[in-house]
């Protein structure tokens, strides 16, 4: 059933297009930086470091995709979980196959989780290749001004890809929860994306400072702490707790809604 | 399953997210208050003991995060000129990470989302690193005071200077115990004797184990909440590897060596015009008032800024008054600034003597 | 989730416990936002029957079927399917289902769609019968062959015609060994040839021993193959039993052919032989429910009043007429 979900995801043309577009982003970014420079040495999001070392193209790509495009891609997939099956009319046939509703949610959730990690790792690999094609690679300069070996740097890049994947857990969880409330996939996608954008907005309003630690996007950029010396783990570990918390919270909402829902689609 | 039990299980299922959500909210909103409200049981100490711990401490290896908070804004000049009234409300806070090896080396790290600024200090070498500009600036060891840092900026250093400068004009007492950075601590309360002081007390927390000051709070007269505080959020007293303090400019970055370095350690010329008179201090301790002068040109330039301030009449004309819970300043039309942690009437009195 | 675990582990222990009824509902009631869609419904579907579940659109048929399959919960009442309460999902592995039209992934081919459902259903089949093996490519091709879709197996489902979609859903319902087939309006969208094929398929599956529960709003489609029927109107069961019982329950109709049909009607009503409401006239053919059984007296009276009679007699009513009488609507209107 789990493998079947993965196959279902990968056989879809839309998923393939999403993948290709996201894998091309590092190349586009590399080309732009190569042509126009890295923002005059003041650029945010590692742009200023890319020309210094191609390895930072991965971080520049991930941090430029993370606020909007990655959540969009992931919410397209995760919000399709139940709402998509409902709108295809396949939900009633899955449940009479029969598959228990609990297991269906678990399989939808786990296949989406695999999707986000595959996505973030492949974007990073694409970024590594693009970075080394366009820019010099070698010893890696950390944000703290110290340097580590190239392979140490590659390891850090792969770790940060995993942490970006991890940051998207909340998008999967919220998407699946919302998708149990509607039979319209587009509505669920917009709802999920809206929730993420709302979180990003609240994260900048000091009046609600008290709930910042609970916002799903609050620790999203903590992966950059890997590139400090020493590595600062507090943000990273808070992000892990936050994402797992959202996974459990949103899954429990999805289960409460879906377990006894009348399937009329 | 009958209808009754289905309704029951439905209710149970819905209660799970409700419980998770409300307990997360509770932890986020209430826990920080509980943490600071703790008063651990510790063996009693005398005021003299606390004062001697603070004054006679020796540097130890440590790492931690220091946060300074004020209940009033500390606006930057550029923010002020953009929107004077907005930048005079709210609060401000700043934090930095700090490492010390206990033998004179330390490092301060100020973080942004995807960059950082570091001050690496080892005896004989001071580097300022800025990752957003990719520059490493070499500072002369004697000059790093110009960066606003004369020694490791940890609360202990500040506390010992407060105790040595202010304790004679104040009443000292042990005001109880508290928890700082998750560690039990004693609190020494320093209340000014001067009647004109705005400050109710300065509370210094001293770690119960290491006997180092780890938090300083300034509490205004007639208030219970601190107007300003500086202290560790997290701290660990353990040996620090040398690699933390090591810095040499990495290849490919811009290395800046300021010109003053070449004048062989002579003090950097002040950035202010030579015509400006040196600030003068009237009185001592909590009563001290600083009298300084700025060019009237600057006054007219920042006219918009001054307009949002109160006006007070003095013997030398109408002054603009800047105030926050623990600090007052009067700005006279001739460019004289009179300021201190004292009441307005004391400032007006000082103006009368000029 | 102990309840789920129970559901998953209960396995085959009860399989074969049912003997009389493949489906049994007791006092089943379901309301959607206050309006009762199904009221106090007690259905008994005998094992081995072809059970026609009839009623106009909106009479509660689909809601009933969804409750039988655990898709919709009931407000009141119990459902037993193949001997087990419907909440225990396992026995659904023995039920082939076509509910409210086909439902497949538009971006997958017909073959890939069947393979998807084969994979999804496999764990439940395996729990019910540990010797079950996965469906391989030839098995799926065979299912497609059965409904004549082998040629279109690699075509995307979205390119299928409505008839092809309907066939694919029947193929999916028959991929695994089934004891019961629940077909909701299986002939929707099929051409006359397709309808005949589905009918033949149903009959042959029934002869293999499968119980078949088929719903329709068109009586004529199922009357010739059903052994049992139930008729719904506004969520309330109007009749259930064998087709013979249903026919037997109907009173015979008076039938008269005459050139003076209007005069005949006026006389029959005046003498209170027939009920005005049941009287229908088509050309020179009059039919009506009789109030009196004395046909000799009726003929005598008609002749005395000068009505020429071409033919007269008592006939069995058509099922269609009975259906209309019970449901208040013609079954051909959709």
Cα-Cα-Cα-Cα torsion A224, A226, A230, A235, nearest 10 degrees, comes to: 70
Decide: B211 and B191 in contact? Cβ < 8 Å.
no
pLDDT in tens, C240-264: 999 888 877 777 778 889 888 888 8
Band of the pLDDT at B302, cuts 50, 70, 90? low
- The pLDDT, as a whole number, for residue A39 is 57
Tell me, what DSSP letter sits at residue C225? T
- The pLDDT, as a whole number, for residue B2 is 64
Residue C305, domain CATH: 3.30.70.100
pLDDT in tens, B214-233: 999 999 998 888 999 999 99
Same domain, C171 and C290: no
Angle between helices A169-179 and A185-202 in degrees, nearest 10: 130
* CA-based nearest residue in chain C for residue B7: C75
Same domain, C168 and C278: no
For residue C74, the chain B residues in CB contact (below 8 A) are: 3
C103 within a domain of the structure (yes/no): yes
Which range is least confidently modeled, A5-14, A235-244, B69-78, C13-22? Answer: C13-22
Domain span holding position C285: 251-315
Answer whether A6 touches C (CB < 8 Å).
no
- For residue A138, with 0-12 CB atoms within 10 Å meaning exposed, 13-18 middle and 19 or more buried, which class applies? middle
Same domain, C67 and C135: yes
Interface of A with B in 72-111 (CB under 8 A): none
CATH number of B280-353: 3.30.310
Same domain, C14 and C110: yes
Same domain, C118 and C90: yes
C98 within a domain of the structure (yes/no): yes
Percent of chain C at pLDDT exceeding 70: 92
- The pLDDT, as a whole number, for residue B146 is 47
Tell me, what DSSP letter sits at residue A262? -
- The pLDDT, as a whole number, for residue B259 is 67
pLDDT in tens, A217-234: 999 999 989 999 899 999
What is the location of CATH 2.50.20.10 in chain B?
47-256
- The pLDDT, as a whole number, for residue B83 is 55
Give the strand pairing for B327-331 and B336-340.
antiparallel
A150: its two tokens: 């190239």
Of the candidates C3, C75, C85, which has its C-beta nearest B3's C-beta? C75
- How far is residue A221's CA from residue A169's CA, in Å, rounded to a whole number? 14
- How far is residue B187's CA from residue B178's CA, in Å, rounded to a whole number? 7
CATH number of B47-256: 2.50.20.10
Beta strands in A90-171 (DSSP E): 140-141, 147-148
Residue boundaries of the structural domains of chain A: 2-258
Decide: A169 and A114 in contact? Cβ < 8 Å.
no
Same domain, C83 and C204: yes
Cα of C192 to nearest chain A Cα, Å: 25
- The pLDDT, as a whole number, for residue C14 is 42
Q: In this model, does residue B141 exceed pLDDT 70?
A: no
C141 within a domain of the structure (yes/no): yes
**Closest-CA residue to B230 (of B172, B324, B159):** B159
- For residues A201-215, give the mean pLDDT: 91
Residue B231: strand pairing partners: B67, B215
C322 within a domain of the structure (yes/no): no
Same domain, C138 and C264: no
Cα of B260 to nearest chain A Cα, Å: 24
Cα of A16 to nearest chain B Cα, Å: 31
Q: In this model, does residue B201 exceed pLDDT 70?
A: yes
Same domain, C71 and C204: yes
Answer whether A260 touches B (CB < 8 Å).
yes
Cα of B214 to nearest chain C Cα, Å: 49
C320 Cβ contact list (under 8 Å, min separation 6): C219, C220, C330, C331
Answer whether A90 touches C (CB < 8 Å).
yes
pLDDT in tens, B8-48: 888 899 999 999 999 999 888 887 777 667 888 999 999 99
What is the location of CATH 3.30.310 in chain B?
280-353
Same domain, C8 and C101: yes
DSSP string across B85-112: TGGGSS-EEEEEEEEEESSS-EEEEEEE
Residue B94: strand pairing partners: B68
Rounded to whole angstroms, the maximal C-alpha distance in chain C is: 82
C323 within a domain of the structure (yes/no): no
**Closest-CA residue to A7 (of C102, C113, C103, C141):** C113
Band of the pLDDT at B265, cuts 50, 70, 90? very low
Cα of B189 to nearest chain A Cα, Å: 29
Decide: B65 and B97 in contact? Cβ < 8 Å.
yes
Percent of chain C at pLDDT exceeding 90: 50
- The pLDDT, as a whole number, for residue B266 is 42
How many folded domains does chain C comprise? 2
Of the candidates B17, B116, B252, which has its C-beta nearest A252's C-beta? B17
- The pLDDT, as a whole number, for residue C50 is 95
Cα of C116 to nearest chain A Cα, Å: 6
For residue C78, the chain B residues in CB contact (below 8 A) are: 2
Whether C124 sits inside 8 A of A99 (CB atoms) is yes
- The pLDDT, as a whole number, for residue B280 is 86
H, E, C per residue of B233-275: EEEECCCCCHHHCCCCCCCCCEEECCHHHHHCCCCCCCCCCCC
Helix locations, C15-109, DSSP H: 61-68
Q: Where is A96: in which H helix or E strand?
A: none
Whether B24 sits inside 8 A of A214 (CB atoms) is yes
Decide: C312 and C257 in contact? Cβ < 8 Å.
yes
For residue B9, the chain C residues in CB contact (below 8 A) are: 3
For residue B3, the chain C residues in CB contact (below 8 A) are: 73-76
Same domain, C192 and C308: no
Residue C146, domain CATH: 3.40.50.300
Which range is least confidently modeled, A138-142, B139-143, C57-61? Answer: B139-143
pLDDT in tens, B55-104: 988 889 999 999 998 888 765 554 555 555 555 556 778 889 999 998 88
Give the domain-ending residue among C209, C231, C247: C247
Answer whether B7 touches C (CB < 8 Å).
no
Q: Which residues of B lie inside 8 Å of A (Cβ-Cβ)?
A: 6, 9-10, 13-14, 16-17, 20-21, 24-25, 28-29, 90, 97, 109, 111, 113-116, 118, 120, 127, 129, 131-134, 136, 234, 243-244, 246-247, 249-253
Q: What angle do CA C54, C57, C61 make, to 5 degrees?
A: 50
Residue C88: strand pairing partners: none
C321 within a domain of the structure (yes/no): no
For residue B2, the chain C residues in CB contact (below 8 A) are: 78
Beta strands in chain A (DSSP E): 140-141, 147-148
Band of the pLDDT at C16, cuts 50, 70, 90? very low
Sign of the dihedral defined by the CA atoms of residues C74, C76, C79, C84, in that order: positive
For residue C106, the chain A residues in CB contact (below 8 A) are: 88
- Residue in this structure with the two tokens 């004797």, named with its chain if needed: B193
């Amino acid at each position: 059933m789990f493998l079947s979900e993965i196959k279902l995801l990968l056989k879809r043309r839309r998923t393939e297009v999403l993948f290709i577009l996201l894998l091309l982003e590092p190349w586009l970014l590399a080309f732009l930086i190569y042509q126009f420079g890295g923002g005059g040495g003041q650029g945010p999001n590692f742009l200023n470091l890319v020309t210094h070392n191609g390895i930072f193209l991965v971080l520049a790509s991930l941090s430029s995709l993370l606020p909007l495009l990655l959540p969009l891609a992931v919410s397209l997939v995760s919000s399709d979980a139940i709402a998509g099956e409902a709108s295809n009319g396949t939900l009633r046939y899955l449940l009479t196959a029969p598959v228990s509703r609990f297991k269906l949610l678990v399989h939808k959730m786990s296949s989406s989780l695999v999707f986000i990690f595959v996505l973030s790792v492949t974007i990073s690999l694409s970024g590594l290749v693009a970075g080394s094609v366009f820019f010099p690679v070698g010893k890696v300069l950390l944000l703290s001004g110290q340097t580590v070996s190239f392979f140490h740097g590659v390891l850090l890049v792969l770790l940060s890809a995993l942490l970006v994947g991890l940051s998207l857990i909340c998008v999967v969880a919220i998407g699946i929860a919302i998708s149990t409330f509607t039979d319209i996939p587009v509505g669920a996608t917009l709802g999920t994306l809206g929730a993420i954008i709302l979180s990003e907005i609240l994260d900048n309003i000091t009046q609600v400072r008290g709930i910042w630690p609970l916002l799903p996007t609050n620790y999203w950029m903590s992966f950059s702490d890997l590139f400090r010396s020493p590595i600062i783990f507090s943000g990273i570990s808070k992000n892990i707790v936050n994402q797992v918390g959202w996974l459990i919270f949103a899954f429990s909402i999805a289960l409460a809604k879906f377990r006894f829902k009348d399937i009329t689609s | 399953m009958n209808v009754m039990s289905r309704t029951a299980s439905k209710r149970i299922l819905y209660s799970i997210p409700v419980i998770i959500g409300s307990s997360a909210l509770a932890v986020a909103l209430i826990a920080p208050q509980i943490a600071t409200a703790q008063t651990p049981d510790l063996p009693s100490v005398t005021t003299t003991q606390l004062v001697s711990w603070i004054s006679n401490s020796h540097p130890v290896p440590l790492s931690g995060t220091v946060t300074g908070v004020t209940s009033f804004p500390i606006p930057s000049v550029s923010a002020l000129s953009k929107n004077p009234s907005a930048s005079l409300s709210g609060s401000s806070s700043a934090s930095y990470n700090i490492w010390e090896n206990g033998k004179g080396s330390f490092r301060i790290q100020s973080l942004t989302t995807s960059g950082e600024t570091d001050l690496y200090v080892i005896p004989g070498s001071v580097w300022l690193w800025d990752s957003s500009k990719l520059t490493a600036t070499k500072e002369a060891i004697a000059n790093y005071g110009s960066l606003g840092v004369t020694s490791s900026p940890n609360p202990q250093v500040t506390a010992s200077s407060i105790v040595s400068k202010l304790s004679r004009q104040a009443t000292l007492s042990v005001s109880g115990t508290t928890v700082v950075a998750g560690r039990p601590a004693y609190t020494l309360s320093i209340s000014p004797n001067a009647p004109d002081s705005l400050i109710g007390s300065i509370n210094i927390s001293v770690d119960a184990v290491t006997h180092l000051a780890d938090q300083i709070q300034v509490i205004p007269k007639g208030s219970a909440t601190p107007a300003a505080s500086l202290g560790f959020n997290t701290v660990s007293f353990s040996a620090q590897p040398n690699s933390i303090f090591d810095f040499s400019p990495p290849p490919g970055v811009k290395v800046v060596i300021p010109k003053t370095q070449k004048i062989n350690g002579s003090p950097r010329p002040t950035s202010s015009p030579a015509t400006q008179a040196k600030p003068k201090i009237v009185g001592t301790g909590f009563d001290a008032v600083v009298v300084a002068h700025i060019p009237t040109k600057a006054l007219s330039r920042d006219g918009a800024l001054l307009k949002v301030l109160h006006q007070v009449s003095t013997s030398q004309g109408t002054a603009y008054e800047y105030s926050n819970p623990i600090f007052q300043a009067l700005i006279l039309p001739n460019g004289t600034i009179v300021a201190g942690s004292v009441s307005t009437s004391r400032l007006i009195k000082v103006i009368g003597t000029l | 989730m102990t309840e789920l675990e129970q559901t998953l582990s209960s396995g085959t222990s009860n399989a074969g416990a049912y003997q009389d009824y493949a489906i049994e509902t007791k006092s089943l009631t379901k309301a959607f936002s206050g309006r009762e869609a199904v009221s106090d419904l007690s259905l008994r579907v005998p094992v081995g029957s072809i059970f026609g579940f009839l009623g106009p659109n909106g009479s509660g048929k689909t809601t009933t079927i969804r409750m039988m399959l655990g898709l919709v919960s009931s407000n009141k009442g119990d459902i037993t399917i193949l001997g087990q309460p419907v909440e225990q999902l396992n026995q659904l592995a023995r039920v082939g289902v076509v509910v409210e039209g086909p439902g497949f992934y538009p971006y997958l081919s017909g073959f890939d769609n069947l393979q998807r459902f084969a994979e999804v259903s496999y764990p439940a089949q395996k729990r019910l019968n540990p010797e079950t093996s996965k469906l391989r490519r030839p098995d799926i091709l065979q299912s497609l062959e059965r409904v004549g879709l082998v040629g279109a197996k690699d075509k995307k489902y979205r390119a299928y015609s409505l008839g092809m979609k309907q066939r694919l859903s029947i193929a999916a319902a028959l991929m695994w060994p089934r004891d019961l087939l629940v077909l909701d309006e299986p002939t929707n969208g099929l051409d006359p040839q397709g309808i005949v094929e589905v009918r033949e398929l149903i009959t042959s599956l029934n002869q293999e021993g499968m119980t078949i529960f088929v719903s329709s709003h068109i009586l004529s489609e199922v009357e010739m193959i059903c052994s049992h029927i139930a008729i719904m109107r506004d969520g309330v069961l109007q009749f259930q039993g064998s087709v013979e019982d249903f026919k037997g329950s109907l009173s015979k109709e008076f039938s008269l052919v005459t050139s003076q049909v209007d005069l005949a009607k006026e006389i029959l009503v005046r003498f209170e032989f027939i009920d005005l409401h049941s009287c229908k006239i088509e050309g020179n053919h009059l039919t009506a429910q009789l109030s009196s059984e004395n046909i000799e007296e009726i003929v005598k009276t008609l002749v005395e009043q000068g009505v020429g009679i071409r033919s007269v007699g008592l006939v069995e009513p058509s099922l269609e007429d009975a259906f209309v009488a019970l449901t208040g609507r013609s079954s051909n209107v959709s």
